[in-house]
Amino acid sequence: MHDLFENERLGGRVQLGEQAVVLQGFAMSIASNVLAQVALIETIAPFRHMKTPGGFTMSVALTNCGAFGWTSDSRGYRYTSIDPITGKPWPDMPKEFLTLARAAANEAGFSDFVPDACLINRYVAGARLSLHQDKDELDFSAPIVSVSLGIPAIFQFGGLERTDPTRKVPLFHGDVVVWGGVDRLKYHGVLPIKQNSHSTTGEQRINLTFRKVSSR
Ligand code: MD6
Ligand code: FE
């Protein structure tokens, strides 16, 4: 997108549900800092394509930072404190990440969000995330904060049943989606990414989702 239009979206809000909102451009000013941190994180915990319990390999590559990291293999989905590839703890969550996630949650009406997990997704053209619920966390009272960087994506947001109708909303560099409360378990996904390029990430989209995994 042209910078001219980028500025017009800054500060915009798209309500996806009663307690789900897109904060347009919310992460814009810290975006390059976040990407620099991601570059450091991936030197410790590399991006990888995980296997789903159903035997498929995910088109999205992922890594994590924070006390807990989301992983998937033939036995199922779960959070672990150790990276199964390196055998070491996931890299620490940078302070700036915590500050950004807390500020976005607060802006969306969720005060006192303290994430203990940050899942980092990397998409290239063709990569997608099929409709799913985020339900591997123990604490559904905390929201999820999702930061989009680089090339755009079309986000799908549905209901509590997989077959419920979905709404499609574009997510651009710097957009932050926050959702929780009554919307916390709604089905959502990312349509196949179209080839594109962005000055900060090249031909990639990077998405960070902040969660509270432990129940205390
Ligand atoms: C993505 N995001 O935007 C994938 N989940 O790349 C998610 O799956 C997601 O954006 C829960 C809450 C917000 C999200
Ligand atoms: Fe999700």
Domain boundaries, the chain: 2-211
DSSP letter assigned to residue 159:
-
State percent of the chain over pLDDT 70: 96
pTM: 0.95
Task: Give the ligand 1 atom nearest the CA of 207.
Answer: 6
Whether the CB of 156 sits within 6 Å of ligand 1 = no
Pocket probe for ligand 1: among 136, 188, 204, 213, the residue whose CB has the most ligand atoms within 8 Å is 188
| Helix (H) or strand (E) segment spanning residue 6 | helix 3-9
Output the DSSP codes for 35-74: HHHHHHHHHHS--B-PBPTTSPBPSSEEEEESSBEEEEET
Mean pLDDT of the chain: 95
Rg of the Cα atoms in the chain: 16
More confident residue, 75 or 60: 60
pLDDT bucket at 3, cuts 50 / 70 / 90: low
Mean pLDDT of 20-26: 98
Expressed in angstroms and rounded, the spacing between residue 30 Cα and the centre of ligand 2 is 23
Q: What's the CATH fold of domain 2-211?
A: Jelly Rolls (2.60.120)
pLDDT of residue 4: 58
pLDDT for 129 beyond 90 = yes
Place of tokens 């199964």: 84
Mean pLDDT of 102-121: 97
Expressed in angstroms and rounded, the spacing between residue 43 Cα and the centre of ligand 2 is 24
pLDDT of residue 209: 98
List pLDDT tens digits, range 64-105.
Answer: 999 999 999 888 899 999 999 999 999 999 999 999 999 999
Output phi, psi for 92, to 5 deg: -60, 155
Give the tokens for residue 71: 């992983």
pLDDT of residue 197: 98
pLDDT of residue 200: 97
Whether the CB of 121 sits within 6 Å of ligand 1 = yes
Give the HSE-up count for residue 15: Cα atoms under 13 Å, Cβ half-sphere: 4
Q: In 45-179, where does DSSP find H-type helix?
A: 95-107
pLDDT of residue 60: 98
Give the dihedral sign, CA 12/169/175/111.
positive
Give the HSE-up count for residue 161: Cα atoms under 13 Å, Cβ half-sphere: 3
- Rounded Cα distance, 207 and 36, in Å: 14
List pLDDT tens digits, range 31-52.
Answer: 999 999 999 999 999 999 999 9
Mean pLDDT of 136-143: 89
